[in-house]
Structure 1
Amino acid sequence: MNKPADGTRRTPLSRERVLRAAVAFADAEGTDALSMRRLAQELGVVPMALYKHVANKDELLDGMVDLVVGEIGPPGEGGWQHVVRERILSARRTLRGHPWVARVVESRPAPTPALLGYLDSMAGLFRAGGFSVDLTHHAMHAMGSRLLGFSQELFDDTAAPPDPEVLAQLARAYPHIAELAGSAEHDAGSAVGGCDDQAEFEFALDLLLDGLERLRAGGRR
């Protein structure tokens, strides 16, 4: 590779360097703005130079997902429920540092190698904790995307409160939904401790883990 005009030696392009630059770009501007041309500009190379390392944007996105999933820490020690819970919360912290990852994971036609490795390790934690193959199968389905620390919500609690007149119309047709939509937060005595995204996630996670433990302890096969 030629030297830049100032005579300094340019860092050689590699697949890892391309992927890390793409992750940094997506963190700042999102994946919709990401293209091979924009990424090449960020790296100071011509677009064709990228194709030696990634074939297209789909392969680029897969590699970006694998890079982020690789940042999730290894399992800790303790009972299966504690270990699974802490690993999932570690995944959640990692993915929240890269807000675009959840949407990209959901959009990919098949799991990437690093994602498969992570899911395999999670299944292994259930098996090591005394789960049968069948119960592990059910657990993985029940947990779904929560294994990676995110879930698809029914309601957008970040939206502005609806207009009172719209809310009144909504209440007449869908009284219970309107009751939820008109509530800025749960009652102070709510079991989930307020309508907070992290609290809601951990509340649902603990419900699932407690239910799975009852099945495991009961000898469910």
Structure 2
Amino acid sequence: MTEREPLTARRVIEAAASVADRGGLAAVSMRNVGRELGVEAMSLYHHVANKAALLDGLADWVFGQFTPPPRDADWREAIAVRSASVRTVLTTHPWALGLVDSRANPGPGSLRHYDAVIGCLRRGGFSTATAARAFSVIDAYVYGFALTERNLPFDAASGANDFAAAITLPTDEYPHLAELVSTVTATGDYSFAAEFDVGLDIILDGLGSLLADTDVRHRDERRDPGH
């Protein structure tokens, strides 16, 4: 007889992720996770207190999948690596979008990740307040892009041209929209997914300019402390 692998909190959370991958977050229940593991639901309560704790652990598991900003890179490169990872995880596990920032009890994985991102920005020269704003702007973009990508009525990597070709846009009624569609799809290889890096560069350019302006202002204040 093959000995069954003992249950652990980690195994329970990983099983919950598998359930969510197949059926969405609504499918995550103690019964379904127990079925995934081949045990009775009651066995899970030795490792997670209740469904709320299960969802807390699942959210923390998601944060554990994110690549933190590499410490050996400058802030811009490090944030780009981290942002690309977040987008990949959120598109691989679409149910995570509605979960990761909704839990009232952040776990160690999420706290470590937050601390790593803020630390990256602080090492890059951002003040604490500006780092908080930068973090918010970056994640608004990354999460928003992943949400849009998930909900598009065509394949984000290669389906935009076929979708655009199937829509008739009268140029007299929608001149600007028609111009935009014809321009971006003119080459026949437009990819919405490929726009992620372009948009992220715009965000990081803006944050870099903000950082430079702040540095100049601080230098001016040190030269002329009376103003």
Report the TM-score range of the alignment, normalised by the length of the smaller protein. Answer: 0.7 to 0.9
1:34-82 CA-partner distances (Å, limit 9, x unpaired): 2111111221211111111112222212212212321333433222111
| 1:9 corresponding residue in structure 2 | 3
Matched, 1:186 2:180: no
Q: 8 Å contact 1:88–1:148 — kept in the other structure?
A: no
| 2:192 corresponding residue in structure 1 | 196
Deviation, structure 1 residue 120? 1.6
Deviation, structure 1 residue 25? 1.9
Q: 1:56 aligns with which of 36, 50, 57?
A: 50
Q: 2:209 aligns with which of 208, 211, 214?
A: 214
What TM-score do you get using the length of structure 1 for normalisation? 0.75
| 1:4 corresponding residue in structure 2 | none
Deviation, structure 1 residue 178? 6.2
Of the structure 1 ranges 49-58 and 99-108, higher mean CA displacement relative to structure 2 is found in: 99-108
The count of residues paired between Structure 1 and Structure 2 equals: 205
| 1:104 corresponding residue in structure 2 | 99
DSSP-derived class of the 1:108 partner: coil
Q: 1:125 aligns with which of 99, 120, 123?
A: 120
Matched, 1:158 2:149: no
| In structure 1, C-alpha distance between the alignment counterparts of 2:6 and 2:61, rounded to whole Å | 19
Where structure 2 has 5 or more consecutive residues not aligned to the other structure, the ranges are 155-162, 219-227
| 2:157 corresponding residue in structure 1 | none
| 2:24 corresponding residue in structure 1 | 30
Matched, 1:84 2:76: no
Q: 8 Å contact 1:145–1:151 — kept in the other structure?
A: no
Q: 8 Å contact 2:122–2:128 — kept in the other structure?
A: yes
Deviation, structure 1 residue 201? 2.2
Q: Which amino acid aligns with 2:89?
A: T
| In structure 1, C-alpha distance between the alignment counterparts of 2:151 and 2:165, rounded to whole Å | 12
With over 3 angstroms needed to count, the CA separation of the structure-2 counterparts of 1:178 and 1:68, relative to structure 1, is same
Q: 8 Å contact 1:89–1:149 — kept in the other structure?
A: no
| In structure 2, C-alpha distance between the alignment counterparts of 1:125 and 1:97, rounded to whole Å | 25
Q: Which amino acid aligns with 1:39?
A: V
With over 3 angstroms needed to count, the CA separation of the structure-2 counterparts of 1:54 and 1:162, relative to structure 1, is farther
1:130-165 CA-partner distances (Å, limit 9, x unpaired): 112222122122223446695543995325679969
With over 3 angstroms needed to count, the CA separation of the structure-2 counterparts of 1:188 and 1:34, relative to structure 1, is same
Compare the two structures and name the one with the higher helix fraction.
2
| In structure 2, C-alpha distance between the alignment counterparts of 1:140 and 1:22, rounded to whole Å | 29
DSSP-derived class of the 2:148 partner: coil
